Amino acid sequence: MPTISIRQHGVSASRNQTVVNPVTGEIVKLTAFNQPERTATRGWTPNVARRNEQRLQQIDFDGIDGVPAFVTLTMPSGQMGEVSAADFHGWLKRWLQFMKRHGLQHYYWILEFQASGNPHLHVLVWLDHAWDALEQYKALRSWVGILNKSDVGARLQGQIWEDIDVGGVITVDGETVPAHPERVLMYLAKHAARGVAHYQRQIANMPEDWQYRSGRVWGHDRSLPLREQEDVETDYPTFHRFRRLVRRWRLAEARGIKDADRRRAAIVQARGSLKCGRPDISPYRGVSAWLPASVASQLLDAAVNMGGENEED
């Protein structure tokens, strides 16, 4: 049976892989029998991006205490051939320890790679008070100092601190988004979920040592408030109707985007969200979207109540 998963800020619907228990005859999910094999992390993979996006969709922003800020930390590309993934994660750990000593309450970070192979960090932090310019300078200088102690010539000018003034705007990777932690993280999640074909996700653009064992490429503190997702098993007619309703909602949202180029791209993406080149897979292709849990619940109720309506848009 298909499963619809409703999270705080997103939803996904997919067909379960099931098998029959040879002892009891019970139909169970395939994952109940075969746990995924633990292997060395090798950067951004489709599964890694999917888990990152789904975790972001579970964050309970209303339950987070603290003043939010957005930090970008960079490293010099010319020396990355000498830097291992273990070195990087050690630096990140020490920097987070510094931040915790000075009022860091929660954080969420995402690692990306530029075409030059230069990794850089996007970090959303929540602090126990609004930091002034001196405190921000010390935080960035701490990162540079950690790298310099390892003979990596980081520059202070390459690090960015942006306060998140809720109600205003903030620039993330050259794109203007609403200044709210949820909107910033949504942007980062969509950015991370674009797929491994994007140049910032390709293994070939990672330093050689990282291509075999990169370590985690996203993470957060254990106390970050999360909302458990609700999993609802449905029949196939409801699953199909729900997919189409999600597509309609995405189209309506896309048409409301003011920027013409972004609106056009969003409409194309929404229209093609259920399309697949393989006829045997297309009817069962899953759907995933950012939308509030309340909207997802309403769409599910509508799909259940629509009965025999099966026509496509």
Give the confidence band of 21 by pLDDT, cuts at 50, 70, 90: low
Flag whether pLDDT at 266 surpasses 80. yes
| Angle at 47 (CA atoms; ends 42, 51), nearest 5 degrees | 110
Give the confidence band of 173 by pLDDT, cuts at 50, 70, 90: low
Residue of 303 and 111 predicted with greater confidence: 303
What's the chain's Rg over C-alpha atoms? Answer: 22
Closest among 121, 3, 38, 109 to 72, alpha carbons compared? 121
Tell me the range of 80-84, 145-149, 213-217 where mean pLDDT is highest: 145-149
Flag whether pLDDT at 164 surpasses 80. no
**Mean pLDDT (whole number) for 100-104:** 96
Q: How confident is the prediction for the chain on average, in pLDDT? A: 80
**What's the order of all strands across the beta sheet hosting 287-290?**
230-233, 2-6, 10-15, 287-290
Give the confidence band of 109 by pLDDT, cuts at 50, 70, 90: very high
Instruction: Return the pLDDT at 33.
Output: 45
Flag whether pLDDT at 5 surpasses 80. yes
**Mean pLDDT (whole number) for 189-218:** 65
Fill in the amino acid letter for 135: E
Fill in the amino acid letter for 42: R
**One CATH from 1.10.3470, 3.40.980, 1.10.150, 3.40.1310 for 46-220:** 3.40.1310
Question: Could you state, in order of their start, the residue ranges of all structural domains in the chain?
Answer: 2-38+234-305, 46-220
Give the confidence band of 40 by pLDDT, cuts at 50, 70, 90: low
Instruction: Return the pLDDT at 30.
Output: 45
Residue of 14 and 95 predicted with greater confidence: 95
Long-range contacts of 95-104 (CB under 8 A, 24+ apart): 95/142, 95/143, 95/146, 98/139, 98/142, 99/125, 99/139, 99/142, 102/135, 102/138, 102/139, 103/127, 103/128, 103/129, 103/131, 104/128
Question: pTM for this structure?
Answer: 0.80
Residue of 250 and 53 predicted with greater confidence: 250
Flag whether pLDDT at 117 surpasses 90. no
What percent of the chain has pLDDT above 90? 35
User: With contact defined as beta carbons under 8 Å apart, do 65 and 105 qualify?
Assistant: yes
User: With contact defined as beta carbons under 8 Å apart, do 224 and 64 qualify?
Assistant: yes
Flag whether pLDDT at 181 surpasses 80. no
Query: Rounded distance, CA 162 to CA 105, Å?
Result: 17
User: With contact defined as beta carbons under 8 Å apart, do 188 and 56 qualify?
Assistant: yes
Buried b (16+ CB within 10 A) or exposed e, 228-240: ebeebebeeebbb
